Amino acid sequence: MADPLSADTLRAALGERPFRSFDEVGSTQDIAHDWALTDPPAPDGAIVIAESQTAGRGRQGRRWYSPPGSALLVSAIYRPALAPEHVQRVTMAAGLALADVLSPLLGDAFALKWPNDGLARGKKVCGILSEATWLGDRLAAVVVGIGLNVRADFSESDLAAVATSLETALGRPVNRVVLLATLLPRLDHWVARAADPTIVAAWRARLGTLGKHVTVYTAPGQFPSPSYSGVAEDVDEAGALLVRLDSGDVRRVLAGDVGLGEDE
């Protein structure tokens, strides 16, 4: 492995940032949640990172495919002062941080997809999972999980049509330690601005979903079901997607999967 995420290489790259690193874990999210609530609790900006996960998860409980040494699998702990209705802005912050790092590498080939994915040439290259921990009505912490495919090979898998890696998209090797050291300051920067409503405009400008014809697949039991289509027109201050139907009505989407139309 050309860029092992060893304790020594991480300490050299991360300076004084607290971290816990593992060869293999069930989920970095779970370890970070526990660390956020220990006594003493993890400080703001502390991270948990692993070479591989056996129970990594994405949004809505999906599994995250990550062979050993193939990805950046990191969960960062933050304690932003946010109202409950604005917690989604932490996901926006993570998306903006990824855009700051990946857009200079990929150019127009990189775009954010609502609500929490990053695409390289239309295929998923990274995902974000932000999970809040509450003590009563007080936000105790938000754990921001980022899974970034760096060198996973999807060419022979059933994910080949929808997933890619950074090295595949670039056609050259990428050092994960350098990538992590570049990403975390941008994540700090944007999370610190999550309470500022201008973050929504910054995120909106990065969303490749807007202006596209989309199909919204709603979760079981949600209305309407099972799906509907329209044009993704905008996002609101809470991060909900506003989809204009053929009827002219605008539907506000807070949860669900969005597929981009073939005419994108």
DSSP character string of 111-126? EEETTTEEEETTEEEE
Read off the pTM. Answer: 0.92
Q: Angle 176-191/7-14 helices, nearest 10 degrees?
A: 40
pLDDT of residue 263: 41
pLDDT of residue 264: 39
pLDDT of residue 219: 63
Residue 220 and residue 31: Cα distance in Å, rounded? 30
β-pairing, 227-235 with 213-217? antiparallel
pLDDT digits (tens, 9 = 90+) for 12-52: 999 999 999 999 999 999 999 999 999 899 999 999 999 99
Q: Quick one: 264 exposed, middle or buried, by C-beta within 10 A (0-12, 13-18, 19+)?
A: exposed
pLDDT digits (tens, 9 = 90+) for 133-160: 998 888 999 999 999 999 988 888 888 8
Residue 78 and residue 43: Cα distance in Å, rounded? 8
Q: Quick one: 56 exposed, middle or buried, by C-beta within 10 A (0-12, 13-18, 19+)?
A: buried
pLDDT digits (tens, 9 = 90+) for 174-225: 999 999 999 999 999 999 999 999 999 999 999 999 999 999 987 655 555 5
Instruction: Tell me what percent of the residues of the chain surpass a pLDDT of 70.
Output: 91
- Structural domains of the chain ordered from first start: 7-206 (3.30.930.10), 213-260 (2.30.30.100)
